[in-house]
Amino acid sequence: MKELKKRILEDGVVLNSTILKVDRFLNHQIDPMLMHQIGEAFAKAFANEGITKVLTLESSGIAPAVLTGLALEVPVIFVRKKKPITLNTSLLTTEIYSYTKNVHNTVYLEKDIIQEQDKCLIIDDFLANGEAALGLTRLIEQSRATVSGIGIVIEKSFQEGRAKLDRAGYSVFALARISSLTDNKVHFLDE
Ligand code: G4P
């Protein structure tokens, strides 16, 4: 997506060879106009999949997920990282390992919020090692619903995630694919 790549080049900060800071439009300050375009792009990419629900993990996935849900006119669910007091019965859970932070986190989804007939689209801000996306697929599969696609705003193609999701057979669509962050610069896969 041209606009996104332009924005990454203008406002992204390469912190090191693996981490890109995008706090000016995605992870802290959010650019709603850009999110609107991102939502439209995901909706177009998955237009023929009959998506009935969009699923993400809090917190930075929420903005692109909501705009995608708006474009597809379907509900958006964000999986919780902390168990809310209102969510005390019938929970689905899974453990997600973060390589970046070296911790296992339990995440929570209310049972029955996704039903068997649902076709779910997973949306996330970054694809690094793929653990968050795979965790969300496990929750959808626990609900016996279908994972109909995975939409990623920024894929770091030099990390393991994309290959893992491809191997697992999921349909993955990324709006910006980064081949490397060497020499303090962002290099895109299709440059
Ligand atoms: P994975 O799910 O693909 O395996 O990724 P990983 O565990 O490595 O990522 C853990 C957290 O770090 C995620 O955010 C992810 O979005 C974020 N992250 C990974 N790579 C980058 C990067 O290059 N730049 C930035 N800015 N973030 C990155 P999180 O802990 O779930 O936080 P949040 O969603 O609440 O913001």
- Identify the residue whose C-alpha is closest to ligand 1 atom 35: 59
Centre of ligand 1 to C-alpha 117, Å, is: 30
Ligand 1 atom with the shortest distance to the CA of 100: 8
Pairing outcome for strands 187-188 and 172-180:
antiparallel
What is the tens place of the pLDDT at every residue in 60-101? 999 999 999 999 999 999 999 998 887 667 899 999 998 878
CATH architecture for the domain at 2-188? 3-Layer(aba) Sandwich (3.40)
Closest to 57 in 3D by CA, of 76, 35, 75: 76
Whether 68 contacts 152, CB under 8 Å = no
What is the tens place of the pLDDT at every residue in 116-158? 999 999 999 999 999 999 999 999 999 999 999 999 999 999 9
Q: Where are the domains of the chain?
A: 2-188
- Is 20 annotated to bind a ligand? Reply is yes
